[in-house]
Amino acid sequence: MMIRWWGSNTPAPSSVEPTQRHFLRVSINDEPEVSTSWGGFREGITRHDMTFPDLPARATNRVIATVTEFAGAPLRIDQILLAWMELEWWHHLNMVGGNLAFEGTSAAPGPTTFEVAGSEAGVRILDVTEPWAPALIPGSRTVSGGTTTLAFGVADPTGRRYALVNPSGLRTPSSIVRDQPPGRWLRDVDMGFDYLVITADEFEGSAKDLATWRRTHLRGITSDAPSGTARDARTTVVRISDIYDEFSGGRPDATAMRNFLEYAWRNWGGSLSQELEYVCLLGDANRDTRDREGTGVRNLVPTWEGGYDPATVLESNPSYASDDFFGRFDGPTDRITDLAIGRIPVADPSLAETLIQRKIIGVESYAGFNPK
């Protein structure tokens, strides 16, 4: 079992300031209590993992966690929250629902035979370690005492993944949508850019209008630049679907956008170029990116709910949604963005066009406009 905890604290003024800032006692079932502690920011939130390698098998497991008081700082506040628990256990190979997938392991490297109970006639055995090139494995079926067993042998299962598939249990896609790839793959871009618009696909036209305008209207580059250095800005537009295609296998994922931005920042324009400066996100976002609350609110260009506000440490939910996450490239404790990131949170194409044409281009085109 592995347990992940999050700790947040507000230390009370005291001459005693421990190096370890979070203190916890954990008991699982009837096992002896384990004490643990870990450090963190003076005001902030930190992660801590606990591993219990050998737990007795039980149908029900009980975890009791107690936050320990710290002597010498009676007013000190220490909140510890459960992030998740992960259980791993051994079990027999039984086919359920017509299909079975598992990772190969054995007591020692070398030839190994697997026996799978409950298989039906026609089941196919595949080595799917490389999903794009599955390999068919021969096997033999036996029936004994009314139980059907399918056996197959492999040279060495270490690091391999297997799937047993019943043709009658194969799934079919609910729908297939043809992808429209960009003119150039994002990982193949070799020139640098100053300004990037990441847009929901339906706002691409408005995004291009904004990028075209910024080409000649971007402070610090086209104007208000050091003497003799003013120039046209290099701008481009990227659809969010293209980011998903290349950085998360086509699945909507906020971390895909963050990984793409780091790649573009470090590589577009040459290795370690760091030429990209400004990013505009065009599209509304929902803090519940996977719609776990069932609101149905569309998440056009995702945001990230992982921020932590020490001023609200006593509240039940001190976190908040922020786009800063997408521009921090210097490790998990980085608090300074490497990119200037903003958002135009529109939910439909007509509003996107109105805001960009009238509120941005229209206002900035006014002769008396002065952004200073």
State if pTM tops 0.75. no
Closest alpha carbon to 342 in 259, 221, 218: 218
- 290-341 pLDDT, tens digit per residue, is 788 888 888 999 998 765 554 444 455 556 788 988 998 887 667 788 999 9
Average pLDDT over residues 161-165: 91
Band of pLDDT at residue 104, cut at 50, 70 and 90 = confident
- Res 61 pLDDT > 90: no
pLDDT at 47: 57
pLDDT at 314: 47
Band of pLDDT at residue 275, cut at 50, 70 and 90 = confident
Q: Which of 8-17, 30-39, 97-106, 346-355 has the highest mean pLDDT?
A: 346-355
pLDDT at 95: 83
- Res 40 pLDDT > 90: no
- Res 21 pLDDT > 80: no
pLDDT at 264: 95
pLDDT at 42: 39
pLDDT at 173: 86
- 121-159 pLDDT, tens digit per residue, is 788 999 999 988 999 999 988 888 777 888 999 988 888
pLDDT at 187: 92
